[in-house]
Amino acid sequence: MQRFKAEFFKALAHPLRIRILEVLAEGEKSVNEIQTHVGSEGSAVSQQLQILRAKNIVSGTKDGNKVIYTLKDPMIIELLAVARQIFNNHLVDTITILDRFKDDEEVPAAPKN
């Protein structure tokens, strides 16, 4: 159970693979389209897709000399959304801390606490 999860999260633990999933979240795409969207070269994209295929996160269907990729489970979209929310919360926290720091700086005689 935890093992599966760890492997799953490992598949997500890479910027390009996240980007690919976000592109596929908008709808099925050929490798060429994915390449264009993520701005990486062919073998890099192909390799990352191979990892995502191996982990059953995406699937590819041949269409002539093209391959169309889709997300295997739409819940990936939700997972990415939750992660984005956590990121935003983290950002808010960071900004809040900076604001506090700024306030302290403006009050030289702050209590020693």
18 binds DNA per the rule CB under 7 A: no
Q: Say if CB 49 and CB 13 are below 8 A apart.
A: no
CB of 76 to DNA, least distance (A): 17
Q: Hey, which residues between 9 and 68 contact a copy of itself (CB under 8 A)?
A: 9-10, 12-19, 56
Which region, judged by CB under 8 A, interacts with a copy of itself, from 23-31, 42-50, 82-90, 102-110? Answer: 82-90
If one asks whether residue 104 binds a copy of itself (CB under 8 A), the answer comes out as no
Residues 6+ apart with CB under 8 A from 112: none
**Contact between 82 and a copy of itself per CB under 8 A:** yes
Gap between the terminal Cα atoms of the chain:
46
Contacted by 67, from a copy of itself, DNA, none: CB < 5 to 8 Å by type? DNA
What distance in Å separates the CA atoms of residue 49 and residue 31, rounded to the nearest whole number?
9
Residues 6+ positions from 67 with CB-CB distance below 8 Å = 30, 31, 60, 61
Which parts of 13-109 fold into alpha helices (H)? Answer: 15-25, 31-38, 42-54, 75-106
* Residue 89 in contact with a copy of itself, rule: CB under 8 A: yes
32 is written with which tokens? Answer: 């060429």
Q: Which of residues 21-80 bind DNA (CB under 7 A)?
A: 30-32, 35, 41-47, 49-51, 60, 62, 64-67
Using CB under 7 A as the criterion, which residues of the chain lie in contact with DNA when the complex forms? 10, 13-14, 16, 30-32, 35, 41-47, 49-51, 60, 62, 64-67
